[in-house]
Amino acid sequence: MTSTVTVETAPPHFLENITVGRHTLQVDEPLSAGGGDVAPTPYELLLGALGACKTITLRMYAERKQWPLEGVHINLSHARVHAEDCANAGGGSCLLDDIQVEIELIGPLAPEQRRALLEIAEKCPVQRTLSSRLAIHTRAKE
C-alpha cells in the first residue's frame, strides 16, 4: 500500500498542514522549540499512529477469535534515553529513542486471552515499520 501525504507550511510559525486524501491535520513544534502549542507535535502524531495501529490490530484479532474485548485504552510516551551499551559508540554512551506503551484491555477476557492480545499488539504494522531498518529517500522537487 502506498500513501501520499503532503505537508505545507501554514501561519503561524512552526505550524504545518498535513493533507492525506481529503483529510487535513495540523502539526506544531512544542513550545520549547518555538511552536505555539496549537496542534500536536510530530512525535505526538507518531505516537498516535502507533497507538491507533495497535488498537485496530487488537480489535480485529479479538473479533476474528470472537473474544469479549470491549475496548482498548493505550497510553504512549516518547523520550530520548541514554543507552549504557551502544554498539559502535566508541566506548561512550549514546541516546536511543524509547517509546513506552501501556495497554488496558477492557472486557471479561481470560488471562490467556490477555497474554495473547498483548503479544499480538507487538506485531502491528506500524510497530514493525518503526522497529525495522528504515530507508528514507529525500530529493528536491524539480
Whole-prediction pTM: 0.84
Q: In terms of C-beta density within 10 A (0-12 exposed, 13-18 middle, 19 or more buried), how is residue 47 classed?
A: buried
Same-domain status, 33 and 52: no
Q: What's the pLDDT score for residue 48? A: 95
State the pairing for strand pair 94-106/23-28: unpaired
The stretch 36-50 carries a mean pLDDT of: 91
Residues 31 and 80 in one domain: no
Residue 24 and residue 4 share a domain: yes
Query: Are 106 and 67 within 8 A, CB to CB?
Result: no
Domain count, the chain: 2
Q: Are residues 124 and 81 in the same domain?
A: yes
92 with 33, same domain: the answer is: no
pLDDT confidence of 90, banded at 50, 70, 90? low
Tell me what the pLDDT averaged over the chain comes to: 89
In a domain, 142, yes or no: no
Each residue of 96-105: pLDDT tens digit?
Answer: 889 999 999 9
Same domain, 34 and 48: no
Residues 100 and 113 occupy one common structural domain: yes
Select the more confidently predicted residue: 98 or 114.
Answer: 114
Structural domain span for residue 28: 1-40
